[in-house]
Structure 1
Amino acid sequence: MTRNPILPGFNPDPSIVRVGDDYYIATSTFEWFPGVQIHHSRDLANWELVARPLVRARQLDMRGDPDGCGVWAPCLSHDGARFHLIYTDVKRYGRTTVGGASGASLRDFHNYLVTCETIAGEWSDPIHLNSSGFDPSLFHDEDGRKWLLNMLWDHRPGRNRFAGIVLQEYSPAERRLIGERLNIFPGTALGLTEAPHLYRRDGWYHLLTAEGGTGWNHAVTMARSRSLTGPYELHPDIHILSSRTRPDAPLQRAGHADLVETPAGEPWLVYLCGRPLPNRGRCVLGRETAIQPMRWGEDGWLYTLGEPGLPMRDVPGPEGRRPADTRADFDDPALPIDFQWLRTPEPEAILSLGARPGHLRLYGRESIGSLFTQALVARRQQAFCYSASCLLEFAPRHFQQAAGLVAYYNASKFHYLHVSHDEEVGRHLRVMSALPDSPQADAFTAPVAIPEGPVELRAEVDYERLRFAWRVPSGDWQWLAEQFDASILSDEASAPGLPNFTGAFVGMACQDLSGAGLPADFDWFAYRERDFSPRGSAA
């Protein structure tokens, strides 16, 4: 059996395509750079991260994008000659007023198209398509014409913000949208209609959408029409997949789906889901990607196998490979693919793998949580229990310089074990926590004096519990007395009205608020997933 999710950790909004015997899934990356994750598989069970196509400033520059914005819901397709990737760069989600209420209905959703002949090749400069809403997708019809779909955002007072699914033709020759924009599907009473994907089968146009919001009420809605422009009739069950009425299901938040067929014509559905913490109910692993086989009924509609409309934890197929322990020694000229950084398309401003060979050098830049240029390099948390550690060399001269190991969600949610310096204690380490669900916005542990020279830092996460430790190389681990709440690194731990759609990361960071750019050198970084441990085990 294949166990869901197939893409664990922050991998939401899956778009799937098959080219020959190869399957590819593209997922959202939000404010993390490079943009869009693409995984490859040949058996639908084992997936490898093979590309992040948005690597240039002309394709993506997220400096200034608020937390939870950036790249939303890519759509990956193939027309027989080239891959097409459509994505949204969200520049404004809306401001938040006192009490968490939304103070603005105006939002900026810029939709772009890039193409490439191969997945791992150099993707084209983007074509701006529109800015009328998010979750764009490209439908290649049998007659060769191409059509863009996206949800329509309506900011006017008293209107439904999610104003339906719009369709407009795209001309490859003119590299722009042509003709009139048509609203082809208003959605159902569940509301929050988004994430359209269109398919053609047996003379029908089948439309998949997501509804109910990307939280606990999420659902996959289906409709069909004999005509591309509608009208679209609803599926007999309306929602073909959801866990909103089943709080006992191991996969929650199921929705935002896409459909693919095997060479034998068997339909499979990929969709996002969340796995709540057993004790806290928060999804620290973010929105993940799951898959399950479907069936076409005699009535021509799509149905789930097994229990009607319910996500499946285990599906027929090969057993997925267990993740290998990963250790980055930073000996290569390129950053290992597991790592990303935040927003900037100019990595040379925040990091170097050549300045000191065999080390990742982070240059002290803006404060942790900055929306512009902060030196933070991290990888996804992909299991409830893991160990992470690194070897740091850093010689701060005052309190405005810091570097260390961070468990990070966004600017308002992180735990940061960092080395710094002040006139009373000298060189020391302490933890700074940004707390989204506490009257105190941030908190600091008492400083612990440490000797000069290299220091190893370590994090142990077991579900909602986080512990930190440090040591001089080859010495004994010194555990900090405090236990930290890892559950705040989740979508659910937030004030109302704020965008929270990503997941927990663990990695390395460096700041120099004096502007001197003091660097920190990391000799290695290790990450290992493991079973639950009362204290954890050596990383």
Structure 2
Amino acid sequence: MNLPNPLIPGFNPDPSIVRVGEDYYLATSTFEYLPGLPVYHSRDLVTWTHISNVAVRDEQLGVVNAPTNLGVWAPTIRFHDGLFHLIVTDTAGRGTCIFTATDPAGEWSDGVVVDLEGIDPDLAWDEDGTAYITYSGLVLSGPDIGAHRGIEQIVVDVATGEVLEPKRSLWSGDGGMFPEAPHLYHVGEHWYLMVAEGGTERGHSISIARSHSPHGPFTSCPDNPLVTARGTARPVQCTGHGDLVEGPDGQWYVVMLGTRPRGMVRSFSALGRETFISPARWTRDEWLEIDPVELNPRDGFGWSEDFDGPLGPEWMGVRRRPDQVADLTSRPGWLTLTGEGEGMGAFRPVFVGHRQEHQTCEIRAVVDASHGVGGLAVRYDEEFHYEVEAGAGRVTARAVIPGFVRESSVEVGDGQVTLVISSAVPAAKGLGHPSSDMVSLGLIGADGSVRVLEEVDARYLSNEVAASFTGRVFGVYASTGTVSVDRIDYRGDNS
């Protein structure tokens, strides 16, 4: 199969996948964004549709006050006994939660809480129906916060969250830091425990061990790590945090996170951690092999949102859902936002956003800020964001990084205006440009052409500089008064 890579582009880290008959379902992390936990569907591993989000109600998660980089970490999606299960760590919120659904495209339960201290939980069942949660033993509170106990396991009642047996220690990997992202599989005569090691940065990798029992003892594969890009010139770096699935062609595959760094020394990953896929196979010795991740980006494409109907599941907000701030009825055919006195630097901005999916792109928004201040923005978090803002007859381009603000303004008069943000590869300097891309902030002028107010280095909106686990998210916002948006147009490619 000629699979695209990234499989699901943009901010889609920590993928977990399950096959049910001829259908595939994949979930990823969302951290401080809501709705939480997107669920994607495919029948061929090529074409994916965002069919739902697990967390669409306040009572399901505690993300509303989650600090940046906390919130919803590393889901595992599984199917057992006619029911879909998704288990996830809700850091700074409810803790470890198990959600269920009869149809992953429909409504998910409010979830039950499991009392464990750790992250990246996996869920597996043995033949007699015993449910095992295997997780990474990271200490999240108390005097030992940050300490790591390796991979641990408990037995639970998935219906109630009750822990039925004391935790046991399983494996600590093969020496890499932060053994995490465990997944437990029963294939043939063995139980396999696949983990990530080396941290989610450039040392990231996948290793595996096996046992004749789901609770060990586990023996390391002699060929670990099975996948890593560290110390290589591969265009896809940070590969790890994998989940195993059998494809429609009988071939096994591993989905995993990775990044696409750019720049002269490939130092900046503009889109953050994305979902990739690579073929795998079982050897004669009944060990797993995984191919290195190959870059195979999809062709460029574009789309438009005219706000004539409800927002799709791909739209999201920061620590609150789009439906909690978006008014689609008071001005039909427009999205209206009401500001709360703060802009994109707010902990909980009035913002409706979408993942940036291409490394080169242009976003346009038709905005009427006659009765307020707001506009079009691209953000990594509340400290790193660029925007084009309209209000009081003026358009202002602004770039914000910690301790520094750069802006330019132009008078345009009242009425609607088309704001533009674009990202492009900078011209090479000698051996290459040091940055990932340059972002232009501007508007459509009276002659119909783009008028650039600021062109700014975009390395600051990257995984490595912002030190965020998310990725670039663009969207529209309001700071004060009411701001209405008639249309958003997006086009992008991977040049």
Both structures adopt the same fold (TM-score exceeding 0.5): yes
Q: Which runs of 5+ in 1 are unaligned?
A: 92-107, 315-319, 422-426, 513-517, 533-539
How far apart are residue 278 of structure 1 and its match?
3.5
Deviation at 1:336, TM superposition (A): 2.7
CA RMSD of superposed structures (Å): 2.1
Aligned twin of 2:303: 326
Gaps of 5+ in 2: 426-436
Q: Output the amino acid matched with 1:85.
A: L
Residue 237 of structure 1 deviates from its aligned partner by: 1.3
- Give how far 1:348 is off: 4.6
1:416-450 Cα deviation digits (max 9, x unpaired): 111234xxxxx3121222214xxxx2313232111
Shift of 1:369: 4.5
Residues 330, 353 of structure 1: 8 Å contact kept: yes
Partner of 2:255: 270
Is 1:354 paired with 2:340?
Answer: no
Q: SS of the residue aligned with 2:64?
A: coil
Give the C-alpha shift of residue 185 in structure 1: 1.2
1:200-252 CA deviation, whole Å, 9 max, x = no partner? 12221100111111110000011111122212111111211110121x11110
Inter-partner Cα distance in structure 1 for 2:358 and 2:298: 14
Query: Partners in 1 of 2:364 and 2:117 — Cα distance?
Result: 44
Query: Structure 2 vs 1, CA of residues 368 and 17 (structure 1 numbering), >3 Å: closer, same or farther?
Result: same
What is the letter of the counterpart of residue 277 of structure 1? R
Q: Which amino acid aligns with 2:4?
A: R
8 A contact 1:491–1:502 mirrored in 2: yes
Q: Tell me if the contact between 2:397 and 2:442 (Cα under 8 Å) persists in the aligned partners.
A: no
For residues 219 and 94 of structure 2, the distance between their equivalents in structure 1, rounded to whole angstroms, comes to 28
Q: Equivalents in 2 of 1:263, 1:170: separation in Å?
A: 32
Equivalent residue, structure 1, for 2:382: 411
Percent identical among aligned pairs is: 32
What does 1:367-378 correspond to in 2, within 5 Å? 367-369=342-344, 373-378=348-353
- Higher deviation after alignment, 276-285 or 148-157: 148-157
Conserved in 1, the CA contact under 8 Å of 2:463 and 2:470?
yes
Asked if the contact 1:63/1:372 (under 8 Å) is kept, the reply is no
After TM superposition, list the pairs within 5 Å mapping 1:110-509 onto structure 2.
110-154=95-139, 161-172=147-158, 174-246=160-232, 248-262=233-247, 265-279=250-264, 281-305=267-291, 310-313=292-295, 322=299, 324-332=301-309, 334-345=310-321, 347-369=322-344, 373-396=348-371, 402-421=373-392, 427-436=393-402, 441-463=403-425, 464-471=437-444, 475-477=447-449, 479-494=451-466, 500-509=468-477
Q: How many Å separate the matches in 1 of 2:160 and 2:442? A: 59
In structure 2, relative to structure 1, the CA distance for the partners of 1:39 and 1:2 (3 Å cut) is: same
TM-score by length of 1: 0.85
In structure 2, what is the equivalent of residue 101 of structure 1?
none
Correspondence for 2:434 = none
Q: Deviations over 1:330-359 (max 9, x none)?
A: 000x113332111125x4542111121101
> Which string of whole-angstrom CA distances, capped at 9 and with x for unpartnered residues, describes residues 512-533 of structure 1?
2xxxxx211000111011465x
Partners of 2:91 and 2:73 in 1: how far apart? 7
Partner residue of 2:432?
none
**TM-fit CA distance, 1:80:** 3.6
- 2-structure distance, mates of 1:471, 1:338: 27
- Displacement after TM superposition at 1:484 (Å): 0.9
Q: Is the contact made by 1:39 and 1:51 (CA closer than 8 Å) also made in structure 2?
A: yes
Residues 1:175 and 1:190: Cα distance change in structure 2 (over 3 Å): closer
Offset of 1:456 from its aligned partner?
0.8
Give the whole-Å Cα distance in 2 for the aligned partners of 1:507 and 1:260. 34
Distance 1:312 1:144, change over 3 A: same
* CA distances 1:470-524 after superposition (whole Å, capped 9, x unpaired): 136x743352343111221111014xxxx51111111111112xxxxx2110001
Per the TM alignment, residue 156 of structure 1 is displaced from its structure 2 partner at its CA by 7.0
The 8 Å contact of residues 408 and 454 in structure 2, kept in 1 or not, is answered as: no
> Separation in 2 of the partners of 1:109 and 1:183?
24
- Using the alignment, how far apart are the partners of 1:448 and 1:131 within structure 2? 55
